[in-house]
Amino acid sequence: MNLIKSVLIVTGAGSGIGRQVALQGARDGAAVIASDINAATLEETKQMGDKEGLQIEVYTLDVADKKAVSDFAEAIIPQLKGQKLLLVNNAGVGLFSGNFYNTSQDDFEWLININLWGVIRMTKAFYPYFIKQNEGHIVNLSSVFGLGGFANQTAYCTAKFGVRGFTEALRMELIGTNIYTTCVHPGGIKTNIMRSATPKGPELTEAMHLKAIATFDKVAMTTPEKAARLILNAVKRKKQRLVIGNDGRAIDSITRLFPVAYSKIFKRKMDKAFKV
């Protein structure tokens, strides 16, 4: 899909990958509608775009809020006027809660409501427009944690496997149409995701969180700029599955080659990085 004369809607555009998708999408010629729950960081994205004369409209939007998402779609769809739509469901959070035993049901539900329901809700809200136009592209951010299940990440993996299943099911339903999906599985991307994940478990301390942030910063190989470029290139080439980074490709291969043994292969690494 060519981005010129298209509209690009991106969620979670106040930071990391989403901010870069907004800026680079606007540079590529799309009219960008950027949203985030955080109005202040979203405004920073807008100002970065303004400095380059880019067209970026901003909306504060919480993808976990059912009514806010449907109000947002109701406000935006009439403005689209038949233009090609690229929807990038990027907003997401991390949860630093330790293992499943120490993760409360409320925290689990909180994460699913953003990382999985946020993607489904946004897609559902804009789907009638895609179907009516019979063109466009939906990009959903899963993760390498949607390729394998990892210790101390039960809620996150559940959401990201869900995003993958949802996107791949749509992919099959949309065969023969002009509507495409891309499921994105990034490895570590140097963003604020671990920094923003507040310690939630009963035995967690700030020091443990700081250690996890330091580990994440060390192992996250790819910049958000590069991740966004790869995502937009995948859209241009109608690539429907995108794994990002050498770390991402290694996890992709190992989980496929050793669909059971990968748990033991990765356990020591995961315990070191995230055990509390």
Ligand X SMILES: NC(=O)c1ccc[n+]([C@@H]2O[C@H](COP(=O)([O-])OP(=O)(O)OC[C@H]3O[C@@H](n4cnc5c(N)ncnc54)[C@H](O)[C@@H]3O)[C@@H](O)[C@H]2O)c1
Question: Of 30-38, 47-55, 175-183, 256-264, which segment contacts ligand X by CB under 6 A?
Answer: 30-38
Q: Tell me the per-residue interface mask from 115 to 144 with ligand X, x by CB under 6 A, - otherwise.
A: --------------------------x-x-
Residue 153 touches ligand X, criterion: CB under 6 A: no
Query: One of 129, 156, 180, 262 is an active-site residue; which one?
Result: 156
**Is there binding between residue 25 and ligand X (CB under 6 A)?**
no
Compute the least distance from the CB of residue 241 to ligand X, in Å.
14
DSSP code, position 101: G
Residue 32 makes contact with ligand X by CB under 6 A: no
Using the rule CB under 6 A, is 245 a contact of ligand X? no
Output b/e per residue, 30-54; b: 16+ Cβ within 10 A: bbbbbbbbbeebbeebbebbeeeeb
Token pair listed for 161: 């496997």
Residue 114 binds ligand X (CB under 6 A): yes
Tokens read off for 155: 């809620």
Task: Kindly state the number of chain residues that form the binding site for ligand X, as judged by CB under 6 A.
Answer: 31
**Binding segment (CB under 6 A) for ligand X, from list 1-9, 61-69, 74-82, 235-243:** 61-69
Query: Cα–Cα distance between 236 and 231 in angstroms, integer?
Result: 9
| 92 is a contact residue toward ligand X (CB under 6 A) | yes
16 binds ligand X (CB under 6 A): yes
In the residue annotation, 156 being an active-site residue is answered as: yes
CB within 8 A of 141, min separation 6: which ones? 17, 88, 89, 90, 92, 119, 163, 184, 186
Q: Applying CB under 6 A, does 17 fall inside the site for ligand X?
A: yes
Closer to ligand X at the Cβ: 97 or 191?
Answer: 191
Task: Count the Cβ atoms, other than its own, within 10 Å of residue 204.
Answer: 17
Give the one residue of 167, 191, 212, 243 binding ligand X; rule: CB under 6 A: 191
Q: What does the per-residue mask of binding to ligand X show for 203-232, with x meaning CB under 6 A?
A: -----------------x---x--------
Other C-beta atoms closer than 10 Å to the C-beta of 99 total 15
> Rounded CA gap, 153 and 146, in Å?
11
If one counts every other C-beta atom within 10 angstroms of the C-beta of residue 107, the result is 17
Helix 154-173 and helix 105-115, axial crossing angle in degrees, nearest 10: 30
Which tokens belong to 81? 């006027």
Catalytic residues: 156
Residues at the site binding ligand X, with contacts judged by CB under 6 A: 11-12, 14-18, 36-38, 41, 61-64, 90-93, 114, 141, 143, 186, 188-189, 191-193, 196, 220, 224
